[in-house]
Amino acid sequence: MWQPVHLNISCSINSLLILTTMRVSTVVLPFLLPAAYAQLNTLAKAAVSTTQTSLRRPPRDEQNRTDSKDFGTATDNVEFPDTALVAALSNTSEFGQVTPGNTQKWDSIEPSPGVFSFTQGDVVTALAEKNSQLLRCHNLVWFQQLPAWVLNGTWTNATLTAALQKHVTTEVTHYKGQCYAWDVVNEALNDDGTFRNSVFFTTIGESYIKIAFDAAAAADPDVKLYYNDFSIETPGKKATGALNIVKSLKASGTKIDGVGFQAHFIVGSTPSKAVQVANLQSFTALGVEVAITELDIRMTLPSTAALLSQQSTDYQNTVAACLAVKSCVGITYSWVPSTFPGTGAACLFDENLVRKPAYFGVVAAFTGSSTNSTNAVASTNLSNATTQGVFSQTANGTNSSIANPSSPASRPNFTSSAVVKGPR
């Protein structure tokens, strides 16, 4: 849907270490900290052996990464004045992966015909390179965020095909060797599984998808190529449409490595672990890997203790589903509150970088423990110098005062992602 922002998060080794190295005060949490509590990147790595997930790194493992999992998030250039957030983004013990939210899209990269500008797109790329973080690139062809010359142009099949090929080839070539995966085509389907009447479909037909994937593969043979969409997380017409895209591309000999499931869920109606596992496996059976690419689980505001507890369970089930599928390579958390007015509080952290109960739901998925099996409470207010913020939570989910003077009133694009199997 919209673009994710990637911040990679990895934590201290165990709860004893955390509690002895962080300030402790009296904020009541509606759950117990898991006994094996550690930062998410550490837990993601440890979960490999217990889930027997088949892990592998991309061909370009030039950055001395020996681990097979990473925890990450997306970001956007507009967030870079936020010094606390940039410090968090740069903390590689917390974050091993980043994704540019908007600056690699067509309107940013090629605002005028044949005039390419990578200045904005290179900002997040440079951050990832500086920190030796993985870079997941997003996206090449989408029906939104197109410049007017594309959206309103007078096209023929031949002229739009040429423009499409030039755009994909030029951008993928520029980022060759930097991205471990590309979302090549984003949201090509309607809810009923038919193709959207985008300028590409109405002019070229469904073959525009093959054209885009072929151009990307030719420009960078090593990068992972994904189809990405929302509302394909459960069996149905749209999921069938996505399956058919994979089948069609493979039948034609076109390279497609994976399918991204955006997973924009609602608290209390998130698909069960069993349903998600079965659906993911229907795709991996076709010989592609899968990834949960824009996970958020929104609730009606204001949040309550009950909603936050259910959200924690929903996150736990979704992460556990990916862990249970051999070729599920990752989970990316992302959220834009304005997308669904009146709802929010959809991610693992709030706008002040405070860990929510949902965070510990992910911990539980990685450790095989439970966050909601007891009414006992833990009294902790954790301040982590590496992220320059006080991690705290009251029993009803509201924030205590945050000792972080550089924290903005709102971080609408703050999201976080966990790659549970070596980069997609």
Catalytic residue numbers, as ranges: 294
> Distance (Å, rounded) from C-alpha 309 to C-alpha 371?
9
Token couple for 188: 């090509």
In this structure, what DSSP letter does residue 223 have? Answer: S
> Distance (Å, rounded) from C-alpha 348 to C-alpha 402?
16
CA 199 to chain centroid: 27
The amino acid sitting at 95 is F
Residues 327, 421 contacting (CB under 8 angstroms):
yes
Prior bond of 423 cis (ω within 30°)? no
Count of CB atoms within 10 A of residue 355's CB?
Answer: 21
Residues 280, 290 contacting (CB under 8 angstroms):
yes
- Kind and range of the H or E element at 20? helix 15-21
> Distance (Å, rounded) from C-alpha 415 to C-alpha 295?
9
3-class DSSP state of 317: helix
> Distance (Å, rounded) from C-alpha 424 to C-alpha 403?
37
Q: Judging by DSSP bridges, how do beta strands 258-261 and 343-344 pair with one another?
A: unpaired
Helix%, strand%, coil% for the chain, nearest 5? 35, 20, 45
> Distance (Å, rounded) from C-alpha 89 to C-alpha 247?
37
Closest to 135 (Cα-Cα) out of 204, 81, 183: 183
Residues 137, 175 contacting (CB under 8 angstroms):
yes
Closest to 44 (Cα-Cα) out of 384, 367, 349, 372: 367
Token couple for 152: 């309103």
> Distance (Å, rounded) from C-alpha 232 to C-alpha 271?
11
Token couple for 70: 């990473």
Torsion of CA 44, 308, 16, 25, to 10 degrees: 150
